[in-house]
């Protein structure tokens, strides 16, 4: 199936011709180059927390809950979809996720984007990380028209702080990147005005845009990330994406990824538990085949 064949070569040639014919109309928003990589590509994504007490001693959360990370929720999408963006307002779904780790509304938004604009190819998620420095991973698939990857992970505890990636393009012209790695820094969703990790809820009215939290901004001594002597914060997490070489046919779906039982996060329902709900499974079956095939849904839930 994956062996290059004359038919496949012809298909690629026709596709290239089609793209050439479409010309500028086929260009994604923002003037990025068109991805012409032929087959879809599969990646592993690994999120590594670097939120240690050594690196971030100020107000480091020790109890109820100790420093940890929510589930990771992401999507492979086109430039017509944006999960979050610096200096823009978050959606209601991302607000729920950033403030409380609730993934349901965000999932519904992603699903709606996938159905209305075909701008989302697949959703992926990884289990929550029960410590500030733990690791979690997932697999995802991108394709030519959905070569961008975005994801979010909530900082727990925090008012509305998260880390993530906005529209990382895994395609480089006619080929897929072998790997990508990014240091991650905290962002403020602009929906809760709490200054510290454990601040009580304090809605930001009117809502503010997404801003990066730095060692000097917000410029207030009470802020948990305020380190006036530091020029910049150290990265609080890192993400690595590595292309998997297995052909889709040879790929053996991994065992279901289940949330950790002995380190239940004291946030809200995990993404996994929501994603395992049959309602969503039914709704997502159009736009997220990759998710359906490889991830947490059990085989007892046939849509």
Closest CA to 111 of 302, 294, 279, 300: 279
* Residue 79 beta carbon to Ca ion: minimum distance, rounded to whole angstroms: 27
Specify the pairing of strand 211-212 against strand 187-188: antiparallel
The token pair at 69 is 């990370």
Q: Using CB under 5 A, which residues numbered 8 to 27 contact Ca ion?
A: none
Using CB under 5 A, which of 188, 267, 272, 281 touches Ca ion? Answer: 188
* Residue 90 beta carbon to Ca ion: minimum distance, rounded to whole angstroms: 10
* Residue 154 beta carbon to Ca ion: minimum distance, rounded to whole angstroms: 12
By CB under 5 A, tell whether 99 contacts Ca ion.
no
Backbone angles phi, psi at 89, to 5 degrees: -80, 140
Among 23-31, 88-96, 187-195, 252-260, the segment contacting Ca ion (CB under 5 A): 187-195
Give the H/E segment covering residue 152: strand 148-156
By CB under 5 A, tell whether 111 contacts Ca ion.
no
Separation between Cα atoms, residue 14 and residue 183, nearest integer Å: 39
Separation between Cα atoms, residue 283 and residue 104, nearest integer Å: 12
Q: Is 217 or 247 the residue whose CB approaches Ca ion more closely?
A: 217
The token pair at 265 is 């996060």
* Residue 130 beta carbon to Ca ion: minimum distance, rounded to whole angstroms: 24
* Residue 279 beta carbon to Ca ion: minimum distance, rounded to whole angstroms: 31
Separation between Cα atoms, residue 151 and residue 96, nearest integer Å: 15
Backbone region of residue 251 per phi and psi (left: phi > 0; alpha: psi in -120 to 50; beta: other values): beta
Separation between Cα atoms, residue 111 and residue 114, nearest integer Å: 5
Give the H/E segment covering residue 46: strand 41-49
Structural contact between residues 269 and 73, judged by C-beta atoms closer than 8 angstroms: no
Q: Is 141 or 160 the residue whose CB approaches Ca ion more closely?
A: 160
* Residue 211 beta carbon to Ca ion: minimum distance, rounded to whole angstroms: 8
Q: Is 201 or 247 the residue whose CB approaches Ca ion more closely?
A: 201
* Residue 216 beta carbon to Ca ion: minimum distance, rounded to whole angstroms: 16
Separation between Cα atoms, residue 179 and residue 34, nearest integer Å: 19
By CB under 5 A, tell whether 160 contacts Ca ion.
yes
Number of residues that bind Ca ion (CB under 5 A): 3
Q: Is 109 or 188 the residue whose CB approaches Ca ion more closely?
A: 188
Structural contact between residues 184 and 165, judged by C-beta atoms closer than 8 angstroms: yes
Q: Is 188 or 281 the residue whose CB approaches Ca ion more closely?
A: 188
The CB-nearest residue to Ca ion is: 188
Among 67-75, 97-105, 117-125, 180-188, the segment contacting Ca ion (CB under 5 A): 180-188
* Residue 160 beta carbon to Ca ion: minimum distance, rounded to whole angstroms: 4
Q: Is 96 or 160 the residue whose CB approaches Ca ion more closely?
A: 160
Among 63-71, 152-160, 178-186, 262-270, the segment contacting Ca ion (CB under 5 A): 152-160
Whose tokens are 């845009």? That residue is: 209
> By the criterion CB under 5 A, which residues form the site for Ca ion?
160, 188, 192
């Amino acid at each position: 199936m994956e062996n290059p064949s004359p038919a496949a070569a012809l298909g690629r040639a026709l596709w290239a011709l089609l793209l050439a014919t479409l010309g500028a109309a086929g260009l994604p928003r923002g003037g990025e180059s068109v991805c012409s990589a032929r087959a879809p590509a599969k990646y592993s994504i690994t999120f590594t927390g670097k939120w240690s007490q050594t690196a971030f001693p100020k107000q480091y959360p020790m109890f109820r809950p100790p420093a940890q990370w929510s589930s990771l929720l992401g999507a492979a999408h086109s430039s017509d979809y944006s999960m979050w963006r610096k200096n823009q307002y978050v959606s209601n779904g991302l607000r729920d996720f950033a403030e409380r780790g609730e993934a349901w509304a965000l999932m519904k938004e992603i699903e709606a984007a996938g159905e209305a604009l075909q701008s989302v190819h697949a959703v992926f998620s990884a289990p929550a990380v029960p410590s500030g420095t733990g690791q979690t991973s997932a697999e995802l698939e991108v394709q030519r028209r959905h070569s961008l990857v975005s994801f979010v992970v909530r900082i727990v505890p925090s008012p509305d702080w998260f880390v993530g990636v906005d529209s990382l393009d895994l395609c480089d012209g006619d080929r897929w990147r072998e790997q990508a790695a990014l240091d991650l820094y905290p962002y403020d969703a602009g929906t809760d005005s709490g200054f510290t990790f454990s601040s009580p809820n304090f809605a930001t009215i009117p809502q503010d845009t997404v801003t990066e939290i730095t060692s000097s901004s917000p410029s207030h001594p009470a802020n948990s990330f305020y380190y006036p002597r530091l020029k910049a914060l150290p990265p609080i997490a890192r993400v690595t994406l590595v292309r998997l070489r297995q052909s889709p046919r040879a790929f053996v779906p991994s065992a279901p990824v289940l949330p950790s039982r002995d380190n239940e996060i004291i946030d809200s329902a995990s993404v996994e538990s929501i994603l395992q709900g049959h309602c969503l499974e039914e709704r997502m079956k159009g736009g997220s085949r990759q998710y359906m095939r490889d991830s947490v849904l059990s085989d007892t839930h046939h849509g």
